Amino acid sequence: MERDRALFMTMLETGARISAILSRRVKHYQSDVESREGARIKFTEFTGSKGFEGPRIIAQSTPFIERYLHNEHPDPDNEDAPLFAVSAGNYEDGDDNALSPPVVRKRINRLLEGTDLEDKDISPHTLRHVRVTEMRKQGYSDALIKHHLGWSEGSNQIERYSHLDDVEKNKQIAEEMDLEVEDEEFSPALDKCPRCGCRIGSPEWEVCPICK
């Protein structure tokens, strides 16, 4: 379903808690195709925000949301309708019509069937961890990550959520030093010994034969 793809991408990109996303209404999604500012989802006017408030800029999830609103959403012209609503067959005027967290968890499992993630324990909260880790890998500062996730400046949550292992950290360090990085394991590739300048004849060399 278009809705499930849009919801999955929105959870992944915003890093918002599932309760926050399911509380959003159509009016909270703002997209101006002619604007250079991009689409936004406003996270305001809801309880249990835990600091996650204000607009969040989105990009990757925007085309998924647009397709859902134009092709599948049961009440897209109603600004007070849930942004992510129950299917048209279950939509009732006067009801809240928002998806529930248990339904979302089931839809995630259905969406991942037949993929490499099918056997993984993927939950909405897992996607928050993924977002933090990806933002760190992409070079976002801790201050920006904390802002994006709605954490205070003094929060240490970022260390609990980030899952960069030592290999990935070493890769980032090597890349910052303009060293080539192998895809499989961290192994900076050098053309010559940085100590004596001897050309390295094999990437398997552990010690320069001149310097050893």
CA distance 196 to 184: 28
Indicate if the alpha-carbon torsion angle 27, 28, 29, 34 is positive or negative. positive
Cα atoms found within 13 Å of the Cα of residue 71, Cβ hemisphere only: 12
Helices 2-14 & 124-137 angle (0-180, nearest 10): 50
Closest CA to 64 of 103, 8, 19, 106: 8
SS3 25: strand
Q: Which residues pair with 40 in a beta bridge?
A: 30, 57
Q: Give the pLDDT confidence score for residue 189 in this predicted structure.
A: 46
Q: What is the pTM of this model?
A: 0.68
Q: Give the pLDDT confidence score for residue 193 in this predicted structure.
A: 55
Identity of the residue numbered 54:
G
Q: Could you read off the pLDDT tens digit of each residue along the chain, which spans 212 residues?
A: 899 999 999 988 888 888 899 999 999 999 865 556 678 999 876 655 566 778 888 888 999 999 999 999 999 999 999 999 999 999 999 899 999 999 998 888 888 888 777 777 777 888 888 888 888 888 888 888 888 887 777 777 776 666 555 455 455 545 544 555 555 444 444 455 545 555 544 444 445 555 55
Q: Report which secondary-structure segment, H or E, holds 107.
A: helix 101-111
Identity of the residue numbered 129:
H
CA angle 17, 85, 82 (to 5 degrees): 70
Q: Give the pLDDT confidence score for residue 186 in this predicted structure.
A: 41
CA distance 54 to 188: 42
Residue 198 Cα distances to 28, 191, 203, 208, angstroms: 62, 9, 13, 8
